[in-house]
Structure 1
Amino acid sequence: MGKLVLTTFLTLDGVYQAPGGPSEDTRDGFDQGGWSVPYGDEDFVRFVTGVFDRAGAFLLGRVTYDIFAAHWPRVTDPDDPIAARLNGLPKYVASTTLTDPGWAGTTVLGGDLAAEVAALKERTDGELQIHGSGALARSLLARDLVDTVHLLTFPVVLGAGRRLFPEGAVPTAFRHTGGQVTGAGVSVQSYDLAGRPEYGSYQLPENT
């Protein structure tokens, strides 16, 4: 059975929206797109390439799918490890409105998302990977369907934008499995889902 692995880029204040360019995702009037680009050094590229090396299939939300579909089919270098996998491996997009995807190898998931994703995990050889796709990621995290999370946190605060863990997110505990900080200062941390949080107290006991 494959694992469902989420890789997401976040700001220090938890924003995931439009890391790759000003026009990538301007919903809600967001005008700070492209905030991850200045930090894309060799350490960053090496980690992301390593993630893609483990992919067996991709699961994407509609916004991220449209961004990827407009870019990666135009990258035809067979030695580009990310383009080769995105263009060559199966892609699944969660959407109730997309009917005729133009990117080869794409299947639209429009039914019971939890059941369809669970079935995909069963039949994927290698990792079923989510990249970006914040709304989809939030939905799957809330259903405990994500096995591993790679959080790449960039040293920037935006003060606006869509957040991966908004108010009302399902309380969730994670187990840290590894991490590094890139030369440009991006904190790359990996976590496995560990169930619900546990709670304690630092309060001193009352004197008796």
Structure 2
Amino acid sequence: MGKLVSTLFVTLDGVYQGPGGPGEDTRDGFTQGGWSFPLGDDDSGRFVTGVFERADAFLLGRRTYDIFAAYWPRVTDPANPFASRLNTLPKYVVSATLQDPAWSGTTVLGGDLAKEVQALKERTDGELQVHGSGALVRSLIGLRLLDTLHLLTFPVVLGSGRRLFPDGTAPTRFRHTGGHVTGSGVSLQTYDLAGDPEYGSYDLPEDA
């Protein structure tokens, strides 16, 4: 069985919207797109490249898919570590409206998300990767289908924008499995899902 792995860029206040450019995602009047670019460095680039090199297939939300499909098919350099994987490996997009995707190798998933993703994991040998697609990632966490989360936290606060974990997110416990901070201050951390949260109290016992 394959492993379902998510990689996401977020700000310190949890915003994942529009990291790559001003016009990438302007929903709700968002005007701060491109916030990750000034803080990207060689270290974070190597990390993301390493992630892509482990991909066997991609699972994407509709918005991320549209952003990728508008750009990556035009990148034809076989040495490009992102284009070479995205253009040749199977891609699955979750959508109730997409009918005839033009990007080669794309399959639309429009049925029962839990059943379809579980089936994908069962027939994938290595990593089934989700990039961006914050709403989809939340759904996969709630369904307990996501295995690993790579969270790249950039040292910037925006104060607005779509947040990765808003109110209503399924309570979930994670286990930290590795990470470090780059020279520009980007925190690269990896977590495995570990089930439901555990609770306790710092109250002193009555006889203390």
Aligned counterparts of 2:121 and 2:37: Cα–Cα separation in 1: 31
Aligned counterparts of 2:125 and 2:57: Cα–Cα separation in 1: 8
Q: Does 1:143 align with 2:118?
A: no
Output the amino acid matched with 1:80.
N
1:204 Cα shift? Answer: 1.2
Match of 1:158 in 2: 158
Give matches, 1:96-135, under 5 Å.
96-135=96-135
Output the amino acid matched with 2:50.
G
Q: Does 1:14 align with 2:14?
A: yes
Aligned counterparts of 1:76 and 1:165: Cα–Cα separation in 2: 35
Output the amino acid matched with 2:173.
A
For structure 1, the residue ranges without an aligned partner over 5 or more in a row are: none
Match of 2:54 in 1: 54
Per-residue deviation, residues 97-151 of structure 1 (Å, max 9, x unmatched):
0001111000000111110000000001210000000111111111111000000
Aligned counterparts of 1:94 and 1:7: Cα–Cα separation in 2: 17
Per-residue deviation, residues 62-121 of structure 1 (Å, max 9, x unmatched):
000000001111111110111100001000000000001111000000111110000000
Query: What do you get for the CA RMSD once the two structures are aligned?
Result: 0.9
Output the amino acid matched with 1:10.
V
Aligned counterparts of 1:69 and 1:184: Cα–Cα separation in 2: 30
Relative to the length of structure 1, the TM-score reads: 0.98
Output the amino acid matched with 1:169.
T
Match of 2:179 in 1: 179
Aligned pair count reads 208
Segments of 4+ moved more than 4 angstroms: none
Aligned counterparts of 2:115 and 2:31: Cα–Cα separation in 1: 36
Relative to the length of structure 2, the TM-score reads: 0.98
Output the amino acid matched with 1:89.
L
Aligned counterparts of 2:101 and 2:141: Cα–Cα separation in 1: 26
Aligned counterparts of 1:21 and 1:81: Cα–Cα separation in 2: 20
Aligned counterparts of 1:190 and 1:181: Cα–Cα separation in 2: 12
